[in-house]
Structure 1
């Protein structure tokens, strides 16, 4: 069931989203060669709690960390660890904040030190695709319009969209209806209505789209060991158009 949020609830979610965005900003300032993803996890947790919220991911049964960290060919749900980041890596960070009963969810893939031109282009395509997809979170559009835009932009650039992990509704639960796949047809899926809040995700690979879950039960990586990217924002459909809730502004 799709739960539409009231204007009051969206304001609370905007505060939750701002906390998540400020935590992401704090993490981003510390991404450099020699740092571990466990270091970044601690930074994120400290910032979220200092700002009066809880880490959303720690409310997921069986998951004990504030962030998911996915370097290079890791795709999603990577458990933070003590391996040091290296110059030239790319690193996906996914996090959320739980504030006054509501979640927010966001992700971004960062350069570690100086990365190749190839990887710079790869990350640019993902971020630009997400920014375009946000524009489809408007009253009267369909979820399939978002999905189709993501698929067309990513595949036109020569990359592949991961099918097994998708965007989703967000609110009192971290994962709510509807699902927002990265592939689809225009005019299909649930119609977007005022008060719908979606975590729009672009999850894509340099090579093939096939992925596997590792033995830890969480971490997902590409089968061909080619790099993967992840970009995500929480967005509300309002009468004035799409409203990005995970903004530090």
Structure 2
């Protein structure tokens, strides 16, 4: 059962979302060739703590870091490390902030310097696909309406959507019902209602969408080595329309 949130509870999630948004804004200013994802991870953890938040991913099911850092062909859940980012790389930084027990989740893919035209088009399309999905987050629509909007935009642009990872409800817990498939058919899945809060987080890839999981049990990467990009927001479904809770 999807737990509907009150207006006050949505406001609590928004506080956590603002911390996440401020972290992403700060990352965009400092990420560059030579910076490591472990430096970014430590910076994010400090920034969250300074704002009265807790990095909710750290310790979740044994995950050891405050962020996930997924470079190039890493699809998601990559471990931050000490390898310097290089000109032309792309990296997705995914984080969850907890403020007073309420959580918000957002991922963003960054280009290190300037990427190739194909990579820049991938990022542009992935971001557009996210917002196509958000437009469907309305009372009375179905979960599948989000997925179809995402998949149609991705495939019409020549990219594939990775089906192995889904969006999810969020609130007191990181993962709550419902699951949000980004490849579903319109009209399928549960009905969205006023007060539903969920993440929409499609992952698009240049090549095939199949993935494999590394020996750490977390890191997912494309089987064919193709690069991928992900953009994610936490969104509230309201009668007035979708409200992005992880935007400034």
TM-score computed with the length of structure 1 as normaliser: 0.98
Distance in 2 (CA, whole Å) between partners of 1:243 and 1:125 is: 21
Instruction: State the secondary structure of the residue aligned to 2:168.
Output: strand
For the Cα contact (< 8 Å) 1:45–1:55, is it kept in 2?
yes
| Residue of structure 1 in register with 2:33 after alignment | 33
Partner of 2:23: 23
Answering whether residue 98 of structure 2 is matched by residue 126 of structure 1, we say no
Q: How many residues align?
A: 248
Residue in structure 2 matched with residue 220 of structure 1 by the alignment: 220
- Cα displacement (A) at 1:59: 4.3
Q: State the SS of the aligned residue for 1:238.
A: coil
Q: Distance in 1 between matches of 2:57 and 2:122?
A: 27
Is the contact made by 1:26 and 1:47 (CA closer than 8 Å) also made in structure 2? no
Shift of 1:129: 1.1
How far apart are the structure 1 equivalents of 2:184 and 2:63?
Answer: 30
In 2, Cα distance between the equivalents of 1:167 and 1:59? Answer: 20
Q: Deviations over 1:208-238 (max 9, x none)?
A: 0110000011100000101011110000011
CA distance in 2, matches of 1:160, 1:93: 20
1:209 equivalent in alignment to 2:209: yes
Q: Is the 8 A contact 2:122 2:204 kept in 1?
A: no
The residue number in structure 1 matching 2:160 is 160
Query: Runs (4+) of structure 1 moved beyond 2 Å?
Result: none
Q: Is the 8 A contact 1:182 1:202 kept in 2?
A: yes
Structure 2 spans left out of the alignment, 5+ residues: none
Matched residue SS, 1:132: helix
Preserved contact between residue 198 and residue 235 of structure 2 (Cα < 8 Å): yes
CA RMSD of aligned residues (A): 0.8
The residue correspondences of 1:91-240 to structure 2 (distance < 5 A) are 91-240=91-240
Is 2:25 aligned against 1:2? no
Listed one character per residue, the Cα deviations across residues 15-55 of structure 1 (whole Å, up to 9, x for unaligned) are 11001110111122111000000000011111111111100
Q: What is the rounded CA distance, in whole Å, between the counterparts of 1:77 and 1:115 in structure 2? A: 22
Distance across 1 between alignment mates of 2:29 and 2:49: 18
Contact 1:199–1:234, Cα closer than 8 Å, also in 2: yes
Cα distance in 1, alignment partners of residues 191 and 198 from structure 2: 12
Paired with 1:148 and 1:56, the residues of 2 have a C-alpha distance of 30
Matched residue of 1:150: which SS? helix
Aligned to 1:68: 68
Alpha-carbon distance in structure 2 between the residues aligned to 1:178 and 1:138: 14
TM-score by length of 2: 0.98
